[in-house]
Structure 1
Amino acid sequence: MKIFNAGQIKKWDEATMAGENIVQTTLMQRAGDACARWIKKKFDQSVEFYIVCGKGGNGGDGIVIARNLLHAGYQVKIILSNPPAEFRKATLDHWNYLSREFPKTAENAIVAFDKTDLLIPLKTPKPLVIIDALLGTGYNPGKSNEVINRLIKFLSNADKPTIAIDLPSGLTPDHLPPGEDDNLNIIQAAYTLSFQAYKRSFLHPESAKYTGKVHLLDIGLSASFTQQESSNIYAIDIKAAAQFYQPRSKHSFGHKGNFGTVVLVGGSYGKIGAISLSARAALRAGVGKVFIQAPKCGYEILQINAPEAMFEPAGDSYVSDIDPIRKATYGIGPGMDTHPESVSALKAFLKTRKDALVLDADALNIIATDPEAILALIPASSILTPHPGEFQRLFGNSKDSLEQVELAKRKAQQWHLVIVLKGHRTAICTPDGNIHYNLSGNAGMATAGSGDVLTGIITALMAQGYPPTQAAILGVHLHGLAGDYYIKKGAAESLIAQDLIDCLPKAFLKLRDKRHILFPA
């Protein structure tokens, strides 16, 4: 799924109207109808709605929603930021329709522009829901006025569930709020009903905390525009991930040697569990053989916890030597520590390594001790999987998470690497300059060992022949799907890394089902 910026979204609307020979009033009706359908499914007539409308297209969507709800017998009160005489054409059209169909509702609308002290009565015998149709994708924070700011402030303090239309008022699609301590005027929504595709800002924590749960509504925007318009930013859903998945046929005559060999290097005294998790995840992800190169102190633990994997001693308490195995894919770093012996071992190995590999955790911390020199040793197309703190140690500070992703994109291009910047919406930055935000996963996955599991999955996919970019995208999505399966049966707080491994079989089945793969009897 491509992600478009505000300018492209406007062009998308225009292309749809031109392609179907319709006017904005018609497209606005479509958008409002889609929102109203969702709202009517979610809430019955015991709920009363306050719909706050701006003078632009977002306000027009709100007016269409109001008409829909009134026709369905809901109680609706409308609050306008400006008098209707200031409405733009399509919004004015829909206001005129509402005025003719429901004159009493139109007459009783509160015009905030006329209020010196805005005190909207929010006490009602019915449950109350606010619909925020104040500002849309064209909002420019530098041009907000006193009335808009007052309305946003009032609604933010109303302590009522709010549904934002397209995006919460005060947010923009392409930029993040300037900071948490700036007394920001942004609506806090319980739900955001957005159209056709995600806004980029929704995929970053600084903005996502305002959107609530995002629901994408299809309003029939031009498919040909989507195909032809370029974007280097994508959202990876189950449909996109399934395109990469190459299932193993149950009638395959292959043997374990046909499905790749993984070598996982890591562990140290007290941190053997990390490399054990990676090994078990790699095995669950379909690789034929797994070797673990770890310190001798982990021998018994690893043979018990991962009996299907083969153990090779790589030191006493720390990794001090990495043994090259031909035709194997390496994943290095989980639990490895940054002991001088391990630093020397990693540098020596990278000097001789020519094939792409996966580097995580302490391997990244070792690279951060001398980034320019060690990054130059890493084979092209290798995958780095830092969390934000590790990324900062590698590449420096960023003012916010969006700037950090942009920096990751530039570093992926500079060093010809795939950088998996981990988070709730993990961003996979590739050497071609593309950014892929993953949509699977949940907050329960913020737990120790989760990244070690991901390392095992991605390394296993590479060993099976997936190109590095595909291995990263598919691996991250599988990892998130496993987490999503867990919280169907257990609380997010109780999720641990081993649960992700246990749920991988269901994640693979989900991909198989999405591709409608049927085996012959």
Structure 2
Amino acid sequence: MKIFTAEQIRSWDHFTISHEPVSSIQLMERASMAAAHWISEHCKNHKKLAVFCGNGNNGGDGLAVARILYLKGFDVDVFVGDSKRKFSDDALVNLKRLRDLSGISVRKFDQSEHYNFDDKTIIIDALFGTGLSRPLEGELKGLVEQLNSKKNIKISIDVPSGLSSDEIFDNDPVILKSDYTLTFQCWKRTFLHPETGKYTGKVEVLDIDLNKTYAGTTNAEYFIIDDLLIESIFRPRQEFSHKGSYGKAAIIGGSYGKIGAAVLATQSALKTGAGLTFTLAPECGYEILQTSCPEAMFIAGGEQFVTKFEIDKEFTCGIGPGLGTHPDTEKSFLSFLKNCTSPLILDADALNIISKKTGNLKLIPKKSIITPHPKEFERLFGGTENSFKRLELAREKAKEYHIYIVLKDHHTQVITPEGNVFYNITGNAGLAKGGSGDILTGILTSLLAQGYSEEETCILGIWLHGRSADLASERHSKESMLPTDVIGEFGSVFEELNRKVARSL
């Protein structure tokens, strides 16, 4: 799914109106019907709504939603701003339609101070949509602060008021903190970053049937990893195949006291389909690895830590889990990089070693995949003010070094050498535990070994990691789930994928 800017979304609306038999007011009604239907289906225990409407088209959506839900049996009160402010043409039409109904009261914003927000009241936010270009001020800022102080469930239409759809505002702006955001047609970038996404609550993308030609022909640089993309990438296991058909994966890592990281990465590579899996680790981890991962073959790379990176060129290598940064490990690893031309998966201590000198970045083979968390990224490339600027820096560095960057976060991003960004929307806070990154290294190493392209490996890998974590959290809870529980769900996710792909043939 493409992520469009606010300007592109406005163009999409205009394109739909000019190429289909639909007017702007009819398109607003279509969007409002979709939002009202979601609310009526999910809010059966709350029949009282306080709907706050701005003067623009987002307010028009809110006015239409209020009318539709009133006709569905909800008790609805509507709040609007000063009548001196001009309503948009479509909002004015919906305000008139609303006032033609005798059962809905239309009040001014300042009357909300004395309104009875009981525990059955849901606040509907339709103050500002994607057109907002600056932080809230004056009366509207005060209104949002007042609504934020209420404990009632809050639902925003399209975008939480005060939030830009494309950028982060400076100076700690006031933004409505929603429990749900019912957005239209596509995700907005600000929903996907930690500084701004915390205001959206659960995001529901409602399809309002905007023109598909526009979506197909309009360029975008930002994308959501959705089911359609995953199904287009995933390749089911062929019946007439053998272990040689699925490549050789090698996990290089482990050191005294950190063998568990290598175990997790190895188990992950084994469980995601590599034909042959090897682990190059120090001899102190031999018994642990052979006992916990009997399907993998062991290659001794040192005694207490890895000092020999001797591996055949036909192997796909994932390097870093538990590797440590001992001077001998560092020296041997950097020497290995100087002579390596094949793409690698680099994580954890492999990145920490590289980050010690800026010049080391040039040693990373082209088309390699690096998987830094924010702190590792900072050590590699420098600090930034926020996650938006960090992502833009990542785009620059991916192009400069011709590498793929998997920037780990709540919504992990894949940045390609061409500058495209793919946001992942699977996964949950249960992954915020040591070992989760080691699992991802194993997944990526296995998929690349099996012949997926670097871009496909990144996209499918982080989606699979997150989807497995979602199943693990359902079974064990986010608090109690372990990285090994995530590995245990790989099979269920592959079963899902095989069913979907088989159905689509």
Question: Smaller-chain TM-score range?
Answer: over 0.9
| CA displacement, residues 358-405 of structure 1 (integer Å, 9 cap, x when unaligned) | 10000000000013x222122110000001110000000011111111
**2:487 aligned to which of 489, 501, 514:** 501
Q: In 1, distance between residues paired with 2:29 and 2:503? A: 39
Partner residue in 1 for 2:454: 468
- 1:13-32 aligned at under 5 Å gives the runs 13-32=13-32
- Following superposition, the deviation at residue 123 of structure 1 comes to 4.1
1:195 counterpart = 2:184: yes
Output the CA distance in 2 between the equivalents of 1:385 and 1:206.
21
**Residues 46 and 121, structure 2, Cα contact 8 Å, conserved in 1:** no
Per-residue CA deviation, residues 447-468 of structure 1 (Å, 9 max, x unaligned), is: 1100000000001011011111
Aligned partner (choices 244, 248, 253) of residue 261 of structure 1: 248
The residue aligned with 1:443 is: 429
Structure 2: distance between partners of 1:350 and 1:517? 44
The answer on whether the counterparts of 2:290 and 2:296 sit within 8 Å (CA) in structure 1 is yes
Following superposition, the deviation at residue 512 of structure 1 comes to 1.8
How far apart, in 2, do the equivalents of 1:321 and 1:46 lie?
65
Distance 1:310 1:84 in 2: 76
The Cα of 1:238 is off from its aligned counterpart by 2.1
Counterpart selection for 1:282 from 263, 266, 269: 269
Corresponding position of 1:346: 333
Instruction: Report sequence identity in percent.
Output: 41
In the alignment, which residue of structure 1 is the partner of 2:43? 43
**Structure 2 CA distance for aligned equivalents of residues 176 and 78 of structure 1:** 30
In structure 2, the partner of 1:71 is 71
Specify the alignment match of 1:119 in structure 2. Answer: 113
- Summarize the Cα distance change of 1:368–1:463 in structure 2 as closer, same or farther, 3 Å threshold: same
Q: TM-score, normalised by structure 2?
A: 0.97
| SS of match in other structure, 2:76 | strand
In the alignment, structure 1 residue 159 sits paired with structure 2 residue 156: no
Question: Is the counterpart of residue 136 in structure 1 residue 129 in structure 2?
Answer: yes
1:362 lines up with 2:349 in the alignment: yes
Cα deviation digits, residues 84-130 of structure 1 (max 9, x gap) = 87211001011111112x1352xx32122xx4x86141244x61100
| Corresponding residue number in structure 2 for 1:58 | 58
RMSD of aligned alpha carbons: 1.6
Letter aligned with residue 341 of structure 1: D
What letter is aligned with 2:107?
A: I
Q: How does 1:291-306 map to 2 (within 5 A)?
A: 291-306=278-293
TM-score where L is the length of structure 1: 0.94
1:46-67: CA deviation from partner (whole Å, max 9, x where unpaired): 5200000000011000011111
Aligned to 1:169: 161
Deviates more, 1:460-469 or 1:17-26: 17-26
Q: Tell me the equivalent position of 2:323.
A: 336
Bigger mean CA deviation after superposition, 38-47 or 329-338: 38-47
Q: Distance in 2 between matches of 1:38 and 1:344?
A: 59
Alignment-derived partner of residue 414 in structure 2: 428
Looking at structure 2, the residues matched to 46 and 478 of structure 1 have their Cα atoms a distance apart, in angstroms, of 36
| Greater mean deviation of Cα atoms: 502-511 or 452-461 | 502-511
Q: Is the 8 A contact 1:242 1:512 kept in 2?
A: no
Per-residue deviation at 1:177? 4.4
Q: What's 1:236 paired with?
A: 225
CA-CA distance at 1:488 after TM superposition: 2.2
Query: Which deviates more, 204-213 or 507-516?
Result: 507-516
SS at 2:8's partner residue? Answer: helix
Change (3 A) 1:418 1:48: same
Deviation at 1:131, TM superposition (A): 0.1
CA contact (8 A) 1:55 1:84 kept: no
1:177–1:207 Cα contact (<8 Å) kept: no
Compute the displacement of 1:518 (Å).
8.5
Q: Which runs of 5+ in 2 are unaligned?
A: none
Whether the 8 Å CA contact 2:322–2:348 is kept in 1: the answer is: yes
Distance change (3 Å), C-alpha of 1:166 and 1:84: farther
| Counterpart residue identity of residue 195, structure 1 | F
Unpaired runs of 5+ residues, structure 1, are none
Aligned partner of residue 76 in structure 1, secondary structure: strand
The counterpart of 1:510, out of the listed 486, 496, 504, is 496
Q: 1:489 aligns with which of 466, 475, 480?
A: 475
Indicate conservation of the 8 Å contact 2:46/2:122, yes or no. Answer: no
Shift of 1:22: 2.2
Aligned-partner Cα distance in 1 for 2:294–2:278: 11
Aligned residue-pair number: 505
What amino acid is the match of 1:128?
T
SS of corresponding position for 1:152: helix
